[in-house]
Chains A and B, each alone.
Chain A
Amino acid sequence: GENVEQHPSTLSVQEGDSAVIKCTYSDSASNYFPWYKQELGKGPQLIIDIRSNVGEKKDQRIAVTLNKTAKHFSLHITETQPEDSAVYFCAASSSNYKLTFGKGTLLTVNP
């Protein structure tokens, strides 16, 4: 089955700096890679996703890159703000729609 590794497990940045979270996956059949933000006590919220036919996608301060050959994808957050502080999960999915999640990254943005 699919295995998703996520690094780092914790990340602390100063407000205004950029944050990068990286994930690798094992199943070459995976073709959909979403990123979720989860605040304490809440359900995960989709922030951006990318499909295997695209190498990069951007939405304002958030971008995701995908390297299919190396089987890794990354989340980039620029100009971080304190409200970006949360746990971020990457995930991978193939045609069966089941998501395999990484272990999460606790991002702390210090004012």
Chain B
Amino acid sequence: GAVVSQHPSRVICKSGTSVKIECRSLDFQATTMFWYRQFPKKSLMLMATSNEGSKATYEQGVEKDKFLINHASLTLSTLTVTSAHPEDSSFYICSARGGLAGDTQYFGPGTRLTVL
């Protein structure tokens, strides 16, 4: 099956710093990648949709200047949390679809961000 990786799996940073999370599709070309946020014991909340070579489309209430998304290639998307604050602490998960994966969304393993 299609494999999506994320890096890092866990990151701890100080308040005010920026953190970059990478999402890669390992065995297919991802036309579209999605970024989600998940709070403990809660469902997944879609933050933004990114298509390769295009600007990301953000969901209502998600600050685009806070959460910078880049989808520069068909196998890589990055999420940068700028000027992180403790309330940004969360589990961030990406998913990818397209190419040989078709319409099915395959999820990465997630990144646990803790902002001190």
- Are A41 and B110 in contact, with the CB atoms below 8 A? yes
Convert A63-107 into 0s and 1s, putting 1 for each residue whose CB lies closer than 8 angstroms to a CB of B.
000000000000000000000000001000100011101111000
- Interface assignment of A55: CB less than 8 Å from any CB of chain B: no
- Interface assignment of B13: CB less than 8 Å from any CB of chain A: no
Q: How large is the interface on A (under 10, 10 to 19, 20 to 34, 35 or more residues)?
A: 10 to 19
Residues of A within 8 A of B110 (CB): 41-43
- Interface assignment of A25: CB less than 8 Å from any CB of chain B: no
- Are B107 and A43 in contact, with the CB atoms below 8 A? yes
CB distance from B28 to the nearest CB of A (A): 14
- Are B112 and A41 in contact, with the CB atoms below 8 A? yes
CB distance from A93 to the nearest CB of B (A): 8
CB distance from B32 to the nearest CB of A (A): 6
Q: A42's closest neighbor in chain B, by CB? A: B109
Q: Compute how far the CA of A36 lies from the CA of B109 in the bound complex, rounded to whole angstroms.
A: 13
- Are B104 and A46 in contact, with the CB atoms below 8 A? yes
Q: A43-B93, A97-B97, A98-B49 are contacts. A103–B43 as well, Cβ < 8 Å?
A: yes
CB distance from B109 to the nearest CB of A (A): 5
Residues of A within 8 A of B108 (CB): 43
Question: 8 closest Cβ contacts across the A-B interface?
Answer: A43-B107, A43-B109, A43-B110, A44-B107, A101-B43, A103-B43, A101-B44, A43-B93
A34-B104, A93-B103 known, 8 other contacts, Cβ within 8 Å? A36-B107, A42-B109, A43-B108, A89-B43, A98-B49, A102-B43, A103-B43, A104-B42
